[in-house]
Every structure is written in C-alpha cells, then in structure tokens.
Amino acid sequence: MKLRYHLFVIILFWGCKERLPVVDDFKNLSYKLTNQNNQEIIFPDFVKGKIVVMNFIFTNCPDICPLSSNNMRLIQEKLKREKVDNVQFVSLSFDPENDTPEVLRKFADIRNLDLSNWTFLTGDKFVTNAIIKKVGVMAVTSDSTIFKSGRKIYYYIHTDRIQLIDIEGKIRKNYKGSTINVDEIVADIKKL
C-alpha cells in the first residue's frame, strides 16, 4: 500500500515536471471584440475548448511584425500536416484605431492566410489595452509619419510575443514572435 502511494507520488511528480506551468489565467474574464468580418466576438469565450496560439500586432509594421505572423502560419501548416486539430490562431491588434476589421481582413487576404482556424481581432482601444495588459504585452507609440494628406501613422515599441493558451483559457507559455522555434511550440501543443 505504502509502496503504491510512493509510486503514485513519483508518477504524479514526473507528470508535473513534463507539463507546462500556468503563467496566467483568463478565467471569468471576457472581452467584447470584433473580428476581420466585422462580427462581434467574445474573447476568450469563442475559443473555449480549443488550444489558442495568439500574437499581438499592428498592421502598419511591415518589417518585423510579419515575421511573427509568418511564424503563426508556419505553426498552422505544421499542425495541419501532423493532423493536430483543435487549435485556433488569434491575432489581436493593439492599434485598433488604424486596424479596423476591413484593414485586418485585407492584411490577411493579401498574404493568402488561411482563416479557417485563424481570427484577427480588433475593438475599442480600452478593451484591447485591457487584454494586452492582462497578458503582459507592452505597446507604446514612438515615431510617427505624417503624410502630405495630413494622415498620421504611429509606430509602436511593443512586446514581440506569441502566446500559448490551453483549452481552459490558461496562458501556458510565451515565445518571441519573430524568432519562435516552430518545432518547440508544436511539441508544447502536443503536451497540452
């Protein structure tokens, strides 16, 4: 009996060691957002029961941000090849004033992104700010460009992040979006 108990504890301990720790939890929180098709989305409710791979973007960033989005695509393709489903991809804009649903949809379309399990989200700045604050992503405006037309766009200094969220809405691991190891996150997803 005692031996069996010890074995149980050892197995439990080994199991825990293998599993990803919980970084943070969206439990009981919900945010009203809008997707690229201008539909209202409640986050994270709409992905409940699914593993979520999430990144944080502003579409005026054409240099390093697309590395993160392209890595999302590579993860999506690898999971598809390995027949791992039940994973939803989410890209949340922290620049909703510029990133309207239409801008996000065009951003995805021109890159031929597969939106069958990938949602782009925008919303009130108050709400997007609350989410990035919750998950520990920072985004502050720095330089800007003013066009001859008077239109002004801002550049952000922001956290370079892809985040893994489990089916219960718990944040399990953070990665650097532009340099993430695709094999690593796919292995982590399989562990969840």
> Which is nearer to other proteins, 46 or 107 (by Cβ)?
107
CA-angle at 148, arms to 146 and 153, nearest 5°:
25
For residue 160, the minimal CB distance to other proteins (Å) is: 5
Residue 149 engages other proteins in binding (rule: CB under 8 A): yes
CB 90 within 8 A of CB 123: no
Q: Which stretch binds other proteins (CB under 8 A): 16-24, 39-47, 144-152, 162-170?
A: 144-152
State how far the Cα of 66 lies from the Cα of 99, in Å rounded to an integer.
15
Residue with tokens 């504890």: 9
Binders of other proteins among residues 48 to 87 (CB under 8 A) are: 59-64, 66-67, 70
Q: Which stretch binds other proteins (CB under 8 A): 3-11, 17-25, 79-87, 147-155?
A: 147-155
Give the HSE-up count for residue 122: Cα atoms under 13 Å, Cβ half-sphere.
19
CB 160 within 8 A of CB 174: no
Strand partners, 164: 53, 173
Binders of other proteins among residues 93 to 112 (CB under 8 A) are: 103, 106-107, 109-112
> Which is nearer to other proteins, 45 or 77 (by Cβ)?
77
Strand partners, 176: 161
CB 57 within 8 A of CB 94: yes
For residue 125, the minimal CB distance to other proteins (Å) is: 19
For residue 73, the minimal CB distance to other proteins (Å) is: 8
In whole angstroms, how large is the CA radius of gyration of the chain?
A: 19
For residue 37, the minimal CB distance to other proteins (Å) is: 16
Positions in the binding site for other proteins (CB under 8 A): 59-64, 66-67, 70, 103, 106-107, 109-112, 138, 142-143, 145, 147-149, 151, 153, 155-161, 176, 178
